[in-house]
């Protein structure tokens, strides 16, 4: 079983940090200092596929687990990244069951899906060492988290949750708030109600949830609510917070407002 899936289904909550800067050394440092699960942010972070592969190698060599948030859910994007050895994914802005099905199909070889075949010559199969990769391993090797971050996705969530092959629904509260007309106001009553709707629908469907720390929920709150995966810190905010703290110490002044997470 995929190690991340095993951890997510074993109970408790997997905690992770964002890697935004596209830097393998920074990502490795984070693993070695308390953040063994790193989410490479391919949607808003720096870099391209080969940048992310270099980061993944550094993270894995330090004993960490890699999750990649894709820039989009296009078939070509999925094909390139899964062939390059990524196996844990967050796919942004999935708003319908049809879109969810298309995304899942892109991750799976026929007859279960439409993934293009090149198994003997790709990093995902360890360059052909895993001879049974395509037939016997690939379908169980991938974790797929689909982002619910728009009011349309909330309206369609019950149907989305019926699509086989989804490991978790990942709530993006910032974009969700924006789609409801409340940009940067995740504490607004309407946004809080949308979050509760998602949690209710997911619980009824037996669908695990994932999200970021925020929107009025800390680590303990999310674990108590049954979330299986949560992302808190990110490398940019860590650097900003440290820079501000050290500058304040130098100047003998009070700390300024901490850098916002995301």
Q: What positions carry a catalytic annotation?
A: 44
Residue 91 to residue 7: CA distance in whole angstroms: 20
Provide CB contacts within 8 A for 128, sequence distance 6+: 119, 120, 121
Torsion sign, CA atoms 212, 215, 218, 224? negative
The answer to whether 171 touches 207, Cβ cutoff 8 Å, is no
Residue 228 to residue 219: CA distance in whole angstroms: 11
Query: For residue 164, how many other CB atoms are within 10 A of its CB?
Result: 9
Q: Which of 82, 59, 58, 60 is nearest to 70 (CA)?
A: 82
């Amino acid at each position: 079983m995929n190690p991340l899936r095993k951890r997510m289904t074993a109970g408790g909550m997997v905690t992770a940090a964002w890697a935004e800067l596209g830097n393998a050394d920074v990502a490795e440092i984070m693993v070695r200092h308390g953040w063994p699960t790193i989410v490479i942010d391919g949607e808003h972070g720096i870099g391209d596929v080969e940048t992310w592969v270099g980061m993944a190698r550094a993270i894995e060599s330090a004993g960490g687990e890699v999750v990649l948030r894709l820039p989009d859910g296009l078939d070509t994007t999925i094909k390139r990244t899964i062939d390059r050895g990524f196996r844990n994914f967050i796919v942004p802005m999935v708003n319908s069951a049809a879109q969810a099905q298309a995304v899942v199909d892109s991750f799976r070889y026929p007859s279960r899906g439409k993934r293009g075949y090149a198994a003997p010559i790709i990093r995902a199969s360890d360059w052909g060492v895993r001879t049974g990769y395509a037939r016997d391993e690939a379908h169980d090797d991938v974790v797929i988290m689909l982002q619910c971050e728009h009011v349309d996705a909330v309206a369609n969530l019950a149907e989305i949750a019926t699509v086989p092959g989804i490991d978790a629904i990942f709530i993006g509260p910032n974009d969700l708030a924006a789609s409801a007309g409340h940009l940067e106001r995740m504490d607004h009553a309407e946004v809080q109600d949308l979050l509760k709707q998602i949690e209710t629908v997911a619980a009824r469907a037996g669908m695990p949830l994932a999200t970021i720390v925020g929107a009025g929920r800390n680590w303990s709150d999310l674990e108590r609510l049954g979330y299986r995966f949560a992302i808190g810190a990110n490398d940019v905010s860590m650097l900003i917070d440290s820079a501000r703290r050290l500058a304040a110490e130098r100047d003998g002044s009070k700390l300024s407002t901490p850098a916002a997470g995301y």
